[in-house]
Structure 1
Amino acid sequence: MDESFILSEFDRLQQSGLALYDEKQRIIEHIDGGLKFQFCLTSALAKKPNLQTPHSGTDKRRDGSDIITTGFEIGEIGNAHLIIANKQYESLNEGDLQGIWSLLSTMSTDYVAFYNCGQDGGCSRLHKHMQLIPMPEGTFASFLDSDGEEPEPTVPFQWFHHRFDSEDTTVQHVTDIYNKLLRQATEIGGGLSENAHAALPGAACPHNLIMTKRWMIVVPRLRAAITKEVAANAMGMLGYIAVATEDEVDKWIRSGPTDSLKELGVSR
């Protein structure tokens, strides 16, 4: 799907008031434990839906979804996936990865895709979905773009990563790498989560997947939050933490960002 079409549709949804976007969002940087954290302060988060957000009895949802996408849909990717403005506890399959890879590998802008698997992985809805944003600079994953010139940061949690060798990477290769990294994450994180969804049939180890067209990272998770304000999704585990207010930033800093991520993931 053409990138310019996706962006024009998002602009249309924003202008209509359906899609929330904060043009005045700003980054607040903080160094802790030798790691640089970036707090993305955006008012758009104030109305973000979550697992407790009620639905109207007249709402109609697509099969397998617990969120209303009517009016937010931009277009289809193949026969099984939709691109929607961002309004799950199973692992991703080849079809899921094919959909997101078709976008990452063809767009001219440098995007990052991420998946929050399970409530302890930081998902806001239980239907399976991936999210896509422009890749921030200076995250914990930046070393994967340096061709070995930048050292790997000492993050306080376990993570597993892979750098793709060439631009000829196939969907099958991407799927194989994801399954390999997920197996490694499951070996150290499986069974440690106390969330009820982790015990359901077919449930994967709570984890985050973060990927660009150059690399992939899988992070096993123990919990999504320490307090209501100190919570992190996949990008948060890379030190890029979205917050709605400066008070949330203050609470993160008081709790110690490095120690907090250590509790949210599997401690090294």
Structure 2
Amino acid sequence: MEHPSLQPGTLWPAILRRTGHALRRGALRPIETTQTLIEECGISFLVRQVSSLARKKAARHAPEADAGARRAVNPFLPYDPDLFVADISDTHVALLNKFNVIDHHLLIVTRSFRSQETLLDLADFAALIACMAEFDGLGFYNGGVDAGASQPHKHLQIVPLPLGESGPPLPIESVLAAARMEGPIGTIPVLAFRHAFAHLEWAPAASRHAAHAALDCYHALLEAAGLRPIEVNGELHHPAPYNLLVTPRWMLLVPRSSECVEGISVNALGFAGSLFVRDAAQLQIIRNLGPMTVLQRVALPAVRER
């Protein structure tokens, strides 16, 4: 069955319309937060803390049992029509993130079930690039539960920039100019954990070419980070969890060792310089450890140079 494809200039207006509609219908449930900046290693880390009012409201309306029930049900098959934003392609749709911390947080979801453990493919990158051509945003992928994925159904994500009310639009970019490149792949000196970085450039008008270039770059990053694909039931899977960050200018991949540090969950946005905590006690843990140590503890040790 053929589906309409995303038309240039239509996505951002559709996001705004659907956000208003979903809020009125109660389908969209934003998580209210307060924001704190913590400077370390030349990065202004943005830490969002759930507001006290939001915690009280959650305690009244969302018992703990609800969280387990949400994880057991696939929210994407079928998806909530009130959260539907646009058809992207024959393979992907765009949905609003129901429990969003950042306004206009978009999910790029496969129409049929694909595992979040499978490698990203050309259709995934084509859908991501089609959406990212429409507004200034950060694309990311949480590859597996230990990388912060909350749903097993394959989905990429985009958040608009700037990430916060203050500080730089994308905190991690303050250290990217210092990248040490060995050919097309490099590393960032201040990131004291295993990762792989690449410069990227695509023209929205050449989205097909851009998707191929992004896919090739992704494969090169996986190889450089030591994540060689494995075959599972005839599909290529990543052998370990990882996070991927994508902009039109660069791509960063970070293999993961665990999902959280002292109860603080970290997903791909952590490596963009944006962390999320439930309360003041968790914020203090980040202050005490330092944001970079938090990231280091959920990542893998850096590969030593020979």
TM-score by length of 2: 0.69
Aligned-residue identity in percent: 22
* Kept after mapping to 1: 8 A contact 2:18/2:83: no
Q: Which of the residues 106, 109, 113 maps onto 2:139?
A: 113
Q: Which of the residues 4, 8, 11 maps onto 2:13?
A: 4
* 1:256 matched to 2:290: yes
1:84 Cα deviation after fit: 0.9
Q: Aligned-residue CA RMSD in angstroms? A: 3.5
After TM superposition, the structure 1 = structure 2 runs for residues 50-199 of structure 1, keeping only pairs within 5 Å, are: 53-55=68-70, 68-87=79-98, 88-105=116-133, 107=134, 109-135=135-161, 136=163, 137-144=169-176, 152=188, 154-165=190-201, 167=203, 170-185=210-225, 187=226
- Code of the residue aligned with 2:94 in structure 1: it is I
1:231 Cα deviation after fit: 1.8
CA deviations over 1:72-97 (Å, ceiling 9, x no partner) = 22221111111111132112111011
Q: 5+ residue gaps in structure 2? A: 1-5, 99-115, 164-168, 181-186
The residue aligned with 2:266 is: 232
1:183 Cα deviation after fit: 1.7
1:35 Cα deviation after fit: 4.0
Q: Which of the residues 22, 26, 35 maps onto 1:13?
A: 22
TM-aligned CA distance change 1:68 to 1:245, over 3 Å: farther
The residue aligned with 1:267 is: 301
TM-aligned CA distance change 1:77 to 1:152, over 3 Å: same
1:175 Cα deviation after fit: 0.8
Q: Distance in 2 between matches of 1:8 and 1:232?
A: 30
Q: Distance in 2 between matches of 1:51 and 1:154?
A: 40
* Kept after mapping to 1: 8 A contact 2:222/2:228: no
TM-aligned CA distance change 1:146 to 1:11, over 3 Å: farther
1:52 Cα deviation after fit: 6.0
- Code of the residue aligned with 2:25 in structure 1: it is S
TM-aligned CA distance change 1:216 to 1:147, over 3 Å: same
* 1:221 matched to 2:247: no
- Code of the residue aligned with 2:152 in structure 1: it is L
The residue aligned with 1:29 is: 37
Q: Distance in 2 between matches of 1:56 and 1:160?
A: 31
* Kept after mapping to 2: 8 A contact 1:161/1:217: yes
Q: Distance in 2 between matches of 1:56 and 1:232?
A: 18
Q: Distance in 2 between matches of 1:51 and 1:100?
A: 31
Of Structure 1 and Structure 2, which has the larger fraction of its residues in strand?
A: 2
1:50 Cα deviation after fit: 11
- Whose Rg is larger? 2
TM-aligned CA distance change 1:92 to 1:164, over 3 Å: same
- Code of the residue aligned with 1:242 in structure 2: it is F
CA deviations over 1:203-256 (Å, ceiling 9, x no partner) = 31311111112221111111111232x221001122211234333212322343
* Kept after mapping to 2: 8 A contact 1:209/1:234: yes
TM-aligned CA distance change 1:103 to 1:56, over 3 Å: closer
TM-aligned CA distance change 1:216 to 1:250, over 3 Å: same
Q: 5+ residue gaps in structure 1? A: 192-197
The residue aligned with 1:210 is: 245
TM-aligned CA distance change 1:56 to 1:41, over 3 Å: closer
CA deviations over 1:137-180 (Å, ceiling 9, x no partner) = 241234448999xx956022222122224535621111111111
